[in-house]
Homo-oligomer: A and B are copies of this chain.
Amino acid sequence: MTFREKIIAIQRKQHSLVCIGLDSDPQLLPTHLRNSADGVLDFNRRIIEATQDLVCAYKPNLAFYEALGSRGWDILSKTLALIPPEIVTIGDAKRGDIGNSADQYAKALFEILHFDAVTINAYMGHDAVESFIRNPNRGVFILALTSNPGSKDFQRVKIGKQPLYEKLVRSSVKWNTHGNIGLVVGATHPKELKTIRALASTMPILIPGIGKQGGDLKSSIRFGCDRNGELAIVSSSRAILYASAGMDFADAARRETMKLRDEIRKYQSDFFESSR
């Protein structure tokens, strides 16, 4: 099954476009698990158990695991082993390197950690993408227009009449010969998301930035989905992970995930005939 087929299959099976970002920070865990590396693994296990019938993907951000030192890699590896195989795993690594260095990153992320997909940064150009797209069963999400304020510094600067992120999207479409490239577009840019979806009509789009960052969920679904009302992947981290700081954190995470899934389903049925 190709990477793209896997996303579609799980989104249909779970009726969910929700991705949970496993940005598990020891300092933010419920009190009884706080400040311990084992606590992070216990926390992830409980979150995954409580939400695995409600999501299409989990997305650990590698930064949080690297910050745990040498144990971090093992905790990440053990976390991935807890995720049911039909659910998509996205390594939010934002790697961007070339040649044999990129090959080594691809090896680490796809062959050792067994992620289905990773986020990558294409500032270095096409040779920063090649190593990651050779296997159609593995995918990448290329950073296009990110949700943060700094996205104006370079991503939005104009190249002639088009902004840089648009050039990057057009290049990504051109490079997508194996059908396994996706894009990252922040929910804080609904108008631009519409333009990007029009340029990349069949690509999965990973959409962070709802919740605390102020992104707009309704527009993210309306403009981020393909014409079947699918292939948008809406990522939420803190609002789900830290919904409660008490012993009931997993139940609270489940409630938040269900709320997000259902709100998305409502918008899917509002805007897409096939979802009604």
Contacts and interface: CB of A to CB of B under 8 A. Distances in A.
Interface of A: 23, 25, 61, 63-64, 66-67, 69-70, 72-74, 77, 92, 94-105, 107-109, 112, 121-128, 143, 146, 148-155, 157-160, 164, 167-168, 171
Given A66-B104, A124-B143, A125-B150, 9 more contacts: A23-B101, A69-B73, A72-B108, A98-B150, A125-B151, A125-B154, A127-B148, A154-B164, A159-B164
B70 A77 contact: yes
Contacts of A143: 96, 123-124
18 contacts: A63-B105, A66-B105, A67-B105, A67-B107, A70-B77, A72-B73, A72-B108, A94-B121, A96-B96, A96-B121, A96-B123, A121-B123, A122-B123, A124-B150, A124-B155, A126-B150, A154-B171, A157-B159
B70 A101 contact: no
A106 to B, nearest CB: 9
Given A94-B96, A164-B164, A125 B63 contact: no
A105 B127 CA distance: 24
Contacts of A107: 67
Nearest to A98: B148
Given A74-B70, A125-B151, A97 B63 contact: yes
Contacts of A101: 23, 61, 63-64, 92
A240 B155 CA distance: 37
A124 B151 contact: yes
Contact of A154 (B63, B69, B109, B168): B168
Contacts of A103: 63
A124 B104 contact: no
Given A125-B154, A157-B164, A104 B70 contact: no
Nearest to A97: B94
**Top 7 nearest A-B pairs by Cβ distance?**
A125-B150, A125-B153, A63-B104, A66-B108, A67-B104, A127-B150, A123-B123
A76 to B, nearest CB: 9
A60 to B, nearest CB: 11
A102 B63 contact: yes
A34 to B, nearest CB: 16
Q: Which of A63, A72, A112, A150 has the most CB of B within 10 A?
A: A63
